[in-house]
Amino acid sequence: MIQPANSASVIASAVKRSLGAAGLTLAMATFAAGANAACDYVVTNSWNSGFTANIVISNDTGAAVNGWSVAWQYSGDNRVTSLWNATLSGNNPYSASNFAWNGAIAPGASVSFGFQGTGSSAEIVNVTGDVCTGGSSSSSSSSSSSSSSSSSSSSSSSSSSSSNSSSSSSSSSSSSSSSSSSGGQCMEMCQWYQDPLRPLCANQDNGWGWENNQSCIGRNTCESQSGNGGIVSTCGGSSSSSSSSSSSSSSSSSSSSSSSSGGSTSSSSSSSSSSSSSSSSSSSSSSSTSTSGGGGLYTYADFPFGVAVNGRFLNTPEMQNTVVNEFSQITAENIMKMSYMHPAEDTYSFAQADQLVDWATTNGVGVHGHTFVWHSDYQVPNWMKSYSGDFEAMLDTHVTTVAEHFAGRVQSWDVVNEVIDENNNCWRNSLFYQQLGADFVGNAFRAARAGDPDADLYYNDYDTEGGNANKLQCLENLVDDLLAQNAPIDGVGFQMHVQIDWPSTSAIAQAFQAIVDRGLKVKVTELDVPVNNPYASTPFPQYTSYTATAAALQKARYKAILKTYLDVVPPAQRGGFTVWGIWDGDSWLLDFSERQGADDWPLLFGGPSDGPYEAKPVVDGLIEAFLGE
């Protein structure tokens, strides 16, 4: 794991945000007797082919609302394509009900959920429901219409790789099972949670594979998922499921999603339909082969938008699916560090890392290497600690050999990680410093460049993002020294294990600016934001459950950090933005001793360990930052 810092940690928790799928019938909430609320439909943005909107439920009474469900219907061509912070069912009329975390509305409080849709002109409609007082009021926020692709983009989802378009045709895949029937060609596909249908693999029964230039899923893996889903047979445009799933009759509406950031535009569409007796959709081959679904977080960025992955990634399809849909780059938490790469003096072990890098290459996802040189005792191989030969030559050979092995497949590297100790004349008294003095850092950069002439090379550290002025000064000194040596450094990585209220965004901006002024790239490499702060003056933990308040704070914090990055770092110097983990329960912070075993929710996705994951409100915050909202 990374090196913890006394003054660096993370904040915020976030309320779970999940994309509902039209056509899924889900359990509805119950309501408190006598508690009513105002239900407002608010258009938040519109353009020539779509819109975004919120429904706000405000409890203006003296009694608490305990569970809610609302409904609405469009008279024109508006249709919902994705929704977050509620469970969606139906297909015009629509209904939405609360999640467990946002079902209770205290007197004077409100909750909201949002959605994106298609349509030639955004409609204002009435919202009804048991919780709504005498129907509902409707309102429209100021929004602008634009025919350009730079208008509002679809919100991201952890389980959808493309938007839907109405179609009566079923998709075909040579790797899916098929048979002939009186209704025409039939084929078996996998309903993977709420995703568009996925082709089944012909050559493997377990895990995810790659056949006929598209991803596929093994039959056993498909059948072993929890909840609705399983093997679906599609014949002549209709589908039926072999697994038990909720009944819903719907046909999906037309939509396409397009997003633009920094001149980069991404769009995709897929066709889907569903029939009664199954919550299934038939996806086109373009959806099945897409390695980056339209509307994912990365589509808003003109730089690598990444996430760290752990040891269970390649055995957890939901993690892989989330990366493909939401991120454009991955960082291995551990398996590309010294002890994994070079376990014995004459032995390099690349198998695990190769498997991960090959997966990324196959799925069109970039890789940031982490890391050639790190001091941490458990990550330095034992043979290296007692090495009696030419230590400098040995270390240079290690770096060059690893860089050469991954050249062309890894786009950037943390060459040296965490060498600064601001309390010891700026230098950590590591094995490498003891053996070689300060020269080992510049040597490592030169060795890395010898092994890979094209990868971006970074120095990476924690607690340098402005809250610790002494450490930031040490970082500036180190960078200046490397530049004076003509060391081939391309950028600086800021780990960004921050607190909810520390450091200030102005301090973060100052730290970023210091590197920008030196002509180097700035990369956020390990961001996480826990809701509980063990260093705060208030009793720890501040939150024992994942509340709406904590979620709102986390959303605001993530949004502010990304906004600061976009405001300060020019496009040409944006090296990337990476979150340190996919799913809350895997965060390293849960095992950090100073957190005393307290629960926390520091990442972008919640939900069960193996899925389906639920995107949290922080995802909306990141999108808002990308869109300048």
Q: By CB neighbour count within 10 A (0-12 exposed, 13-18 middle, 19+ buried), where does 405 fall?
A: middle
The pLDDT value recorded for residue 568 is: 98
CATH topology of domain 188-231: Xylanase; Chain A (2.30.32)
CA distances from 143 to 43, 53, 54, 532, 623 (A): 8, 10, 13, 36, 17
> What DSSP state is assigned to residue 234?
E
The pLDDT value recorded for residue 240 is: 47
Nearest residue to 34 (alpha-carbon basis) of 122, 114, 131? 131
The pLDDT value recorded for residue 206 is: 67
Residue recorded with tokens 């790469």:
341
On whether the CB atoms of residues 48 and 120 are closer than 8 A, the answer is yes
Cis peptide leading into residue 541 (ω within 30°): yes
Cβ-count burial 49-86 (b if 16+ within 10 Å, e if not) = bbbbbbbbbbbebeeebbbbbbbbebeeebbbbbbbbb
Nearest residue to 80 (alpha-carbon basis) of 119, 44, 48, 132? 119
The pLDDT value recorded for residue 429 is: 96
CA angle 97, 73, 53 (to 5 degrees): 70
> What DSSP state is assigned to residue 290?
-
On whether the CB atoms of residues 44 and 141 are closer than 8 A, the answer is yes
On whether the CB atoms of residues 254 and 246 are closer than 8 A, the answer is no
The pLDDT value recorded for residue 21 is: 31
Active-site choice (123, 318, 326, 526): 526
Tell me the average confidence (pLDDT) per consecutive run of 10 residues in the chain, 629 residues long: 37 31 32 64 77 86 89 94 79 89 81 83 92 59 35 34 32 36 58 64 70 66 65 57 34 31 32 27 26 67 97 94 96 96 94 96 97 93 95 98 98 98 95 97 98 98 93 98 98 97 94 98 98 92 93 96 98 98 94 85 93 93 95
User: pLDDT tens digit string along 249-282?
Assistant: 333 333 333 333 333 333 333 322 222 222 222 2
Nearest residue to 37 (alpha-carbon basis) of 100, 103, 108? 108
On whether the CB atoms of residues 479 and 492 are closer than 8 A, the answer is yes
- Which residues, 6 or more positions from 105, have their beta carbon under 8 angstroms from its beta carbon? 35, 37, 57, 59, 64, 65, 68, 111
What's phi and psi for 110, nearest 5 deg? -145, 160
User: pLDDT tens digit string along 100-148?
Assistant: 767 888 888 888 887 878 888 899 999 999 888 754 444 444 333 333 3
135: tokens are 């129907």
Report the C-alpha gap between 226 and 242 in whole angstroms. Answer: 14
> What DSSP state is assigned to residue 13?
-
Is-same-fold flag (38-129; 188-231)? no
Q: How far is CA 444 from the centre of its chain?
A: 31
- Which residues, 6 or more positions from 224, have their beta carbon under 8 angstroms from its beta carbon? none
Residue range 297-627 in CATH 3.20.20.80: yes
Please provide the distance, in angstroms rounded to a whole number, between the alpha carbons at the two ends of the chain. Answer: 34
Record the pTM: 0.57
On whether the CB atoms of residues 327 and 320 are closer than 8 A, the answer is no
On whether the CB atoms of residues 396 and 447 are closer than 8 A, the answer is yes
On whether the CB atoms of residues 459 and 478 are closer than 8 A, the answer is yes
The pLDDT value recorded for residue 211 is: 58
Nearest residue to 518 (alpha-carbon basis) of 556, 462, 570? 570
The pLDDT value recorded for residue 406 is: 98
The residue ranges of every structural domain in the chain are 38-129, 188-231, 297-627
The pLDDT value recorded for residue 133 is: 77
Is 211 part of the annotated catalytic residue set?
A: no
Residue range 38-129 in CATH 2.60.40.290: yes
Report the C-alpha gap between 610 and 320 in whole angstroms. Answer: 11
